[in-house]
Amino acid sequence: MTLRCRVIARYGSEIDALQPDGSVRRASLRRRVDDVVCGDVVTVDSVGAVVRSREPRRNHLARRDGFNRPRTIAANIDRAWIVVAPRPEIPHLLIDRFLVGIRNLPAEAGIVVNKSDLAFTGDAATSDPDLSNYTHLALPILRVSAHTGLGLEAFRAAAAGGCNVLVGPSGVGKSSLIQALLPAERLRIAEVGQGGEGRHTTTTARWYEAEGGAAWIDSPGVRDFSPEIASVDQLVQGFPDLSEHAADCRFRNCTHRSEPGCAVGAAVDRGLLPAARLEAWRELLASLIAGGRGRG
Ligand SMILES: Nc1nc2c(ncn2[C@@H]2O[C@H](COP(=O)(O)OP(=O)(O)O)[C@@H](O)[C@H]2O)c(=O)[nH]1
Ligand SMILES: [Mg+2]
Ligand SMILES: [Zn+2]
């Protein structure tokens, strides 16, 4: 007999499988069915605990590692939340890169500023972080705090139904947020060691079921993220704000680098588009042309 199970996490050649009765069981992967990640739906042999097959995926989030190999992080995603913290600073280019990856899944994207309890302590160094590069985009930007509970109900409501993955740098509080949203679970929160390095950080993506058919996926932190894109058309998907102006460029195939009559450059000059967004476009275009080498 086989059971239809959700893949909660993958560890090398094994997975944790959420069985229909709600219990979790370790099962092993064979080479024939090896492309399995957190969020997948698989059938598992109830006797040998071997994964027999994987159902087709709606989508999957992947990144390129340091050797430019695609690494699948999680599958079957409805919404991806880019989690950042006001300190040390907002990682703008990382947000731009994630937006390209998320829009190409396709999935809905949102930005979550955690540790907002730090942002309003009064001194200038911890003042409200600047997210003006993104306020013109049609996406939710939520201020929350896993520690004080600020904004968590709004976050829960924005994430209702479907599968939500939290992505972003390590140490911003992704695991803490899921812990705060699901108090019955026991997540590993990073303790900062004596040298300031984080310990007990998340090393593999993990699925948590929530009420009302929603789910949360906690993912390992990344310093950098290279979306798995292969064409300029896919890059365009990540920059709907540039595309709006690109229709007025003199050249239909304008790349908005140094062409005459570029309406995107003009929009930046007129303050209609943040300069950082055009810089991010140019950066990603350059790495796309270079084959994405050296990014992970
Ligand atoms: N001040 C403050 N610290 C937080 C908050 N959320 C998490 N942290 C701390 O940030 C550190 C990293 O948290 P963790 O959830 O492991 O981050 P992750 O690597 O993104 O999963 C831990 O020391 C947490 O206690 C928050 O809302 N406010
Ligand atoms: Mg974590
Ligand atoms: Zn242009």
At 243-295, the pLDDT tens digits run 999 999 999 999 999 999 999 999 999 999 999 999 999 999 999 998 754 44
- For residue 262, the model assigns a pLDDT of 98
Mutation pick for ligand 1 pocket among 150, 152, 189, 217 (CB with most ligand atoms within 8 Å): 189
- b/e sequence 227-265, b meaning 16+ C-beta within 10 Å: bbbeeeebbbbbbebbeebbeebeeeebbbeeeeebbbb
Alpha helices in the chain (DSSP H): 92-103, 116-119, 152-158, 174-181, 232-237, 240-246, 263-269, 275-289
Rounded to whole angstroms, how far apart are CA atoms 104 and 118? 33
Q: Which numbered ligand comes closest to the C-alpha of 206?
A: 2
From residue 10, alpha-carbon distances to 38, 51, 174, 176 in Å are 6, 12, 19, 21
* CA 267–ligand 3 middle distance (angstroms): 10
Ligand 1 atom closest to 145 (CA): 27
Mutation pick for ligand 1 pocket among 176, 182, 202 (CB with most ligand atoms within 8 Å): 176
Q: Atom 7, ligand 1: which residue's CA is nearest?
A: 173
Domain ranges (residues) in the chain: 2-54, 61-218, 232-289
Rounded to whole angstroms, how far apart are CA atoms 291 and 296? 12
| Domain 232-289 class in CATH | mainly alpha
Residues in the chain: 296
Report DSSP state, residue 179: H
Q: Atom 28, ligand 1: which residue's CA is nearest?
A: 115
Q: Does domain 61-218 have CATH number 3.40.605.10?
A: no
- For residue 100, the model assigns a pLDDT of 97
Q: Atom 13, ligand 1: which residue's CA is nearest?
A: 173
* CA 81–ligand 3 middle distance (angstroms): 29
pLDDT in tens, 156-194: 999 999 999 999 999 999 999 999 999 999 888 876 544
Q: pLDDT category, 63, cuts 50, 70, 90?
A: confident
Identical fold between 61-218 and 232-289: no
Rounded to whole angstroms, how far apart are CA atoms 273 and 269? 8
Sole residue written with tokens 């790495």: 287
Instruction: Give the pocket of ligand 1 (CB within 6 Å).
Output: 114-115, 117-118, 145-147, 170-176, 189-190, 192, 201-202, 221
User: Phi/psi at 7 (nearest 5 deg)?
Assistant: -80, 115
Q: Atom 1, ligand 1: which residue's CA is nearest?
A: 115
* CA 241–ligand 3 middle distance (angstroms): 12
Q: Regarding predicted confidence, which is higher, 227 or 5?
A: 5
* CA 15–ligand 1 middle distance (angstroms): 27
* CA 18–ligand 1 middle distance (angstroms): 27
CB 287 within 8 A of CB 235: no
pLDDT in tens, 195-221: 445 555 667 999 999 988 899 999 999
Mean pLDDT of the chain: 91
User: Phi/psi at 216 (nearest 5 deg)?
Assistant: -120, 135
Rounded to whole angstroms, how far apart are CA atoms 213 and 185? 16
Q: Which helix (H) or strand (E) holds 45?
A: strand 41-45
Cα-Cα end-to-end distance for the chain: 41
Of 166, 240, 243, 144, the closest CA to residue 210 belongs to 166
- For residue 144, the model assigns a pLDDT of 97
pLDDT in tens, 73-124: 999 999 999 999 998 889 999 999 999 999 999 999 999 999 999 876 555 5
Sole residue written with tokens 């695991």: 175
Q: Nearest 10 degrees: CA dihedral of 126, 97, 204, 191? A: -10
Q: Which numbered ligand comes closest to the C-alpha of 146?
A: 1
Is 50 exceeded by the pLDDT of residue 231? Answer: yes
Assign domain 2-54 to its CATH superfamily: Nucleic acid-binding proteins (2.40.50.140)
Q: Regarding predicted confidence, which is higher, 25 or 88?
A: 25
Q: Which numbered ligand comes closest to the C-alpha of 190?
A: 1
Segment 42-59 mean pLDDT: 95
